[in-house]
């Protein structure tokens, strides 16, 4: 973090669940001032005014232009990320940008934002699973080649968010479809761990509304013959919280990892299991999940050091590229 | 408003299908129990027979039904209730289905207006119209209290009403001192001990000291376990903060670190802590309900002493 005693002035755009959570978390960082908040909804603006009496509260992002912000956090629905981030760079609102995932709704838009971000400060997309202790341990083990040569993997991202929503309901549309909303996390983990992937085939079900897919299955190919399968759904029953996981098969065994635990099964050895408890999962301030604190900390540390974040726009572009392929194969 | 009796409370996480150790495991167990309120009520009753003296629960339809069933057949001392609200999952789900936080707020406002204590709504009407946070919180708490009181009619005593960790920790993060004080005063006026569940115990203790909050009047619930699970920022800092909050009624949760620890292992750690007033444990099987509370009752020999000091216990 900053060592010269100065404070970073941050603006938050979008006060839904994620925006509120980020605003609260930011307020616990000693070197950060939440200087401005923006939301289209009158109700949320009124509440924000009470909670942040010294901040500028507005419904128009243009008001951020003269506030001398160091960074913005974009937590709006995905479909408007592109327009907002473009405006942030275009108007010089802030040099450093954190955006909730996915970067945009399309590869083309994300590519354009990557170019815009090139000459600015630090950028990051909120793929917070990269900051989960279990997935970090999995990556560490796979980097050590504990499974030998990798053969295949299966990834899943499930939630019950819309399991009880009747057919024809349009409430899921605002979240842009399950591929982006949930699938992007597990795709990001896979790209992070296995490198570039290409989509072989994909199928989608549109049970609620034709403008927003609910269940998607797709197959991918990776380096050295690696094959993968993803299953994504926000209509699974029993998933009170979104859950993400990977099973990886290698020539020497298999590895299962999700948000809670990691299990390593090597040939001719008893399985080894690690829970989050075994991996020092505590943070300075816990809100929502320890990953959120760690990703925020990483963003600010990167601003202080001028280094790239581990989930910058360029790496997020790889996710958007894959998601675009999935959408195309589903058509 | 008892604060000197050591409390052994049954928790409700298993009844909602929650496991902080493994959601996969929770799902399997929850499916097996078929969301059976009767089964849960039996487990609570069995726990009470074997040493538990209260029930800590998130306010929702499942737990309210459990309370209704248990209290009807209960004999002996009143069951001590520790309510936690809001039940975050229920509201997150509602937010999803109502088109976000804004949609949730509008729908909740309607529910509160029609179900809360009319006096509370009337006395806060001006504040509600101006979206004053204190008025909103008071009306919301009154709404949740009315839900509890509708089922908790006999053989129970509402010992404490606690803010869920999400709200507590957001209040701390946003430095909402006045809101916090309003909440405490409002509950004191209802003769209910105000409580706070938190995942940031040292942060809360520091803030509350800074805000001159009287610890002797409040209940705090936070994680305390041998492996430091969810003890943020660290096990050591949580233990140290406990010694600075000993005037409060402090209830330890996650004492088994979500099932990572065996009860026998947990007892040893808890007996070495000074400043705890009670603990809460969830059970999902009859055998657990019987054995766990027996063990904690016998393993913590001073639980029946009114002036409970854990550090003085020699195991």
Give the contacts of B187 (CB within 8 A, at least 6 positions apart): B141, B161, B193, B194
For residue B113, the model assigns a pLDDT of: 67
Domain boundary among A121, A151, A183: A121
Give the residues across from A245 on adjacent strands: A156, A258
Gap between the Cα atoms of B187 and B183, Å rounded: 6
Chain A hits for B166, CB-CB cut-off 8 Å, are 287
Mean pLDDT of A256-267: 96
Examine the domain organization and report whether A134 and A117 are in the same domain. no
pLDDT in tens, A2-32: 556 689 999 999 999 899 999 999 999 999 9
pLDDT in tens, A278-316: 999 999 999 999 999 999 999 999 999 999 999 999 999
* ipTM exceeding 0.85, yes/no: yes
CA dihedral A145, A149, A151, A152 (to 10 degrees): 10
CB pairs under 8 A between A and B: 117
Tell me A226's DSSP state: -
Mean pLDDT of A120-149: 98
Mean pLDDT of B83-93: 82
For residue B260, the model assigns a pLDDT of: 92
- What's the gap between Cα A82 and its chain centre? 15
Is the predicted pLDDT of residue B3 greater than 70, yes or no?
no
Chain A hits for B169, CB-CB cut-off 8 Å, are 24, 285-287
In-domain check, residue A204: yes
Best B17, B100, B224, B236 member to test A by mutation, with max A CBs in 10 Å, is B100
Q: Is B88 on the interface with A (CB under 8 A)?
A: no
Mean pLDDT of B60-71: 93
Cis peptide before B131 (omega within 30 of 0): no
In-domain check, residue A303: no
Is the predicted pLDDT of residue B35 greater than 90, yes or no?
no
Task: Classify residue B47 as exposed, middle or buried by CB count within 10 Å of its CB (0-12, 13-18, 19+).
Answer: buried
In-domain check, residue A217: yes
For residue B27, the model assigns a pLDDT of: 72
In-domain check, residue A114: yes
Gap between the Cα atoms of B25 and A258, Å rounded: 12
Q: Are B143 and B112 in contact (CB under 8 A)?
A: yes
CA distance B160 to chain A (A): 23
Is the predicted pLDDT of residue B70 greater than 90, yes or no?
yes
Q: Is A111 on the interface with B (CB under 8 A)?
A: no
Give chain A's mean pLDDT: 93
Place of tokens 């354009």: A112
For residue B36, the model assigns a pLDDT of: 81
When CB atoms are compared, the residue of A47, A161, A275 closest to B260 is A275
For residue B271, the model assigns a pLDDT of: 87
Examine the domain organization and report whether A114 and A160 are in the same domain. no
Best B92, B132, B173, B179 member to test A by mutation, with max A CBs in 10 Å, is B173
Read off the CATH number of the domain in which A223 is found. Answer: 3.30.360.10
Q: Using pLDDT thresholds of 50, 70 and 90, give the confidence band for residue B16.
A: confident
Read off the tokens for A13. 């755009």
Examine the domain organization and report whether A261 and A135 are in the same domain. yes
HEC string of B207-241 equals: HHHHCCCCHHHCEEEEECCCCCCCCCCCHHHHHHH
Examine the domain organization and report whether A196 and A57 are in the same domain. no
Examine the domain organization and report whether A93 and A167 are in the same domain. no
**Sheet order of strands, A198-205 included:** A198-205, A215-221, A227-233, A150-158, A243-250, A253-258, A261-266, A272-275
Q: What percent of chain B has pLDDT over 90?
A: 57
CB B23 to CB A239 under 8 A?
yes
Helix (H) or strand (E) holding B84: strand B79-85
Domain membership of residue A187 as a residue range:
129-288+313-330
Examine the domain organization and report whether A214 and A321 are in the same domain. yes
Examine the domain organization and report whether A136 and A84 are in the same domain. no
Q: Is B176 on the interface with A (CB under 8 A)?
A: yes
Is the predicted pLDDT of residue B115 greater than 90, yes or no?
no
Helix (H) or strand (E) holding A326: helix A313-330
Q: Which of left, alpha, beta for B35 (phi over 0: left; psi -120 to 50: alpha)?
A: left
Q: Using pLDDT thresholds of 50, 70 and 90, give the confidence band for residue B120.
A: low
CB atoms within 10 A of CB A76: 22
Gap between the Cα atoms of A321 and A81, Å rounded: 16
Helix (H, G, I), strand (E, B) or coil at B140: helix
CA dist A108 → A105, A192, A312, B148, B156 (Å): 9, 21, 16, 53, 62
Chain A hits for B99, CB-CB cut-off 8 Å, are 171, 174
Q: How many domains does chain A have?
A: 2
Gap between the Cα atoms of B96 and B69, Å rounded: 31
Chain B hits for A283, CB-CB cut-off 8 Å, are 232-233
Domain boundary among A75, A92, A121: A121
- Helix B37-49 and helix B61-73, axial crossing angle in degrees, nearest 10: 50
Best A59, A238, A280 member to test B by mutation, with max B CBs in 10 Å, is A238
Mean pLDDT of B134-141: 89
In-domain check, residue A298: no
Residue of A nearest to B230 (CA): A282
Q: What percent of chain B has pLDDT over 70?
A: 81
Examine the domain organization and report whether A100 and A168 are in the same domain. no
Q: Which of B296, B299, B292 is nearest to B43 (CA)?
A: B292
Examine the domain organization and report whether A46 and A114 are in the same domain. yes
pLDDT in tens, A98-121: 999 999 999 999 999 999 999 999
pLDDT in tens, A217-229: 999 999 999 999 9
Examine the domain organization and report whether A44 and A101 are in the same domain. yes
CB A285 to CB B232 under 8 A?
yes
Write down how long chain B is: 315
Examine the domain organization and report whether A148 and A78 are in the same domain. no
CB A28 to CB B203 under 8 A?
yes
pLDDT in tens, A155-194: 999 998 888 777 767 667 767 789 999 999 999 999 999 9
In-domain check, residue A308: no
Examine the domain organization and report whether A78 and A141 are in the same domain. no
When CB atoms are compared, the residue of B166, B231, B233 closest to A284 is B233
Q: Using pLDDT thresholds of 50, 70 and 90, give the confidence band for residue B310.
A: very low
CB B97 to CB A258 under 8 A?
no
CB B17 to CB A238 under 8 A?
yes
Q: Is A282 on the interface with B (CB under 8 A)?
A: yes
When CB atoms are compared, the residue of B106, B173, B260 closest to A24 is B173
Q: Is A223 on the interface with B (CB under 8 A)?
A: no
Read off the tokens for A180. 């982006």
In-domain check, residue A115: yes
Gap between the Cα atoms of A63 and A40, Å rounded: 13
In-domain check, residue A302: no
pLDDT in tens, B208-251: 999 999 999 999 999 999 999 999 999 999 999 999 998 999 99
pLDDT in tens, A39-73: 999 989 988 998 999 999 999 999 999 999 999 99
Helix (H) or strand (E) holding B109: helix B101-115
- Helix A313-330 and helix A184-194, axial crossing angle in degrees, nearest 10: 120
CB B101 to CB A174 under 8 A?
no
For residue B259, the model assigns a pLDDT of: 87
Q: Are A86 and A111 in contact (CB under 8 A)?
A: no
Chain A hits for B58, CB-CB cut-off 8 Å, are none
Gap between the Cα atoms of A51 and A60, Å rounded: 19
Domain boundary among A57, A89, A121: A121
Give the contacts of B261 (CB within 8 A, at least 6 positions apart): B225, B226, B227, B255
Is the predicted pLDDT of residue B88 greater than 90, yes or no?
no
Read off the tokens for A225. 């013959």
């Amino acid at each position: 973090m900053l060592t010269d005693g100065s404070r970073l002035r941050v603006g938050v755009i979008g006060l839904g669940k994620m925006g509120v959570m980020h605003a609260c978390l930011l307020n616990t960082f000693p070197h950060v001032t939440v200087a401005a908040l923006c939301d289209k909804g009158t109700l949320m603006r009124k509440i924000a005014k009470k909670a942040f009496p010294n901040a500028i509260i507005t419904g128009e992002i243009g008001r951020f232009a003269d506030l001398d912000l160091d960074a913005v956090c974009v937590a709006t629905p995905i479909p408007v990320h592109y327009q907002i981030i473009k405006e942030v760079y275009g108007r010089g609102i802030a040099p450093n940008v954190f955006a909730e995932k996915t970067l945009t709704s399309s590869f083309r838009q994300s590519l354009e934002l990557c170019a815009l971000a090139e000459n600015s400060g630090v950028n990051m997309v909120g793929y917070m699973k990269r900051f989960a202790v279990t997935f970090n341990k999995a990556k560490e083990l796979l980097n050590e080649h504990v499974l030998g040569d990798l053969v295949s993997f299966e990834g899943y991202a499930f939630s019950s968010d819309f399991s009880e929503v009747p057919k024809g309901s349009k409430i899921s549309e605002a979240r842009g479809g399950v591929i982006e909303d949930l699938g992007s996390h597990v795709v990001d983990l896979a790209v992070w761990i296995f490198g570039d992937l290409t989509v072989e085939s994909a199928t989608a079900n549109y049970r609620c509304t034709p403008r927003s897919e609910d269940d998607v299955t797709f197959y991918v190919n990776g380096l050295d013959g690696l094959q993968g399968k993803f299953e994504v759904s926000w209509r699974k029953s029993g998933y009170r919280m979104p859950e993400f996981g990977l099973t990886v098969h290698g020539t020497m065994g298999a590895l299962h990892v999700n948000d809670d635990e990691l299990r390593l099964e090597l040939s001719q050895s008893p399985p080894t299991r690690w829970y989050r408890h075994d991996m020092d999962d505590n943070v300075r301030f816990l809100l929502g999940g320890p990953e959120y604190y760690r990703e925020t900390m990483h963003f600010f540390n990167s601003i202080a050091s001028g280094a790239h974040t581990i989930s910058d726009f360029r790496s997020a572009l790889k996710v958007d590229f894959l998601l675009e392929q999935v959408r195309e194969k589903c058509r | 408003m008892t604060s000197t009796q050591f409390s052994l409370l049954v928790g409700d996480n298993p009844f909602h299908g929650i496991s902080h150790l493994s959601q996969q495991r929770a799902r399997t167990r929850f499916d097996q129990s078929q969301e059976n309120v009767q089964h849960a009520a039996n487990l609570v009753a069995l726990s009470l027979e074997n040493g538990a003296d209260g029930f800590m629960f998130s306010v929702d339809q499942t737990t309210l039904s459990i309370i209704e069933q248990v209290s009807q057949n209960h004999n002996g001392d009143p069951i001590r209730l520790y309510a936690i609200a809001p039940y975050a999952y229920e509201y997150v789900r509602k937010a999803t289905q109502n088109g976000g936080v804004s949609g949730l707020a509008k729908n909740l406002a309607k529910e509160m207006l029609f179900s809360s204590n009319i006096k509370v709504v009337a006395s806060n009407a001006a504040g509600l119209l101006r979206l004053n946070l204190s008025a909103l919180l008071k009306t919301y708490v009154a709404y949740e209290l009315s839900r509890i009181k509708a089922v908790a009619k006999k053989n129970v005593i509402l010992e404490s009403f606690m803010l869920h960790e999400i709200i507590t920790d957001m209040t701390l993060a946003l430095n909402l001192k006045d809101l916090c004080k309003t909440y405490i005063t409002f509950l004191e006026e209802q003769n209910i001990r105000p409580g706070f569940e938190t995942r940031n115990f040292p942060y809360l203790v520091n803030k509350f000291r800074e805000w001159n909050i009287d610890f002797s009047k409040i209940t705090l619930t936070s994680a305390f376990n041998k492996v430091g699970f969810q003890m943020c920022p660290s096990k050591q800092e949580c233990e140290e903060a406990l010694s600075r909050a000993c005037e409060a009624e402090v209830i330890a949760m996650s004492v088994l670190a979500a099932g990572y620890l065996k009860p026998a292992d947990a007892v040893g750690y808890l007996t070495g802590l000074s400043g705890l007033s009670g603990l809460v444990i969830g059970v999902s099987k009859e055998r657990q309900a019987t054995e766990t509370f027996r063990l904690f009752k016998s393993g913590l020999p001073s639980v029946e002493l009114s002036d409970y000091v854990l550090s003085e216990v020699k195991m």
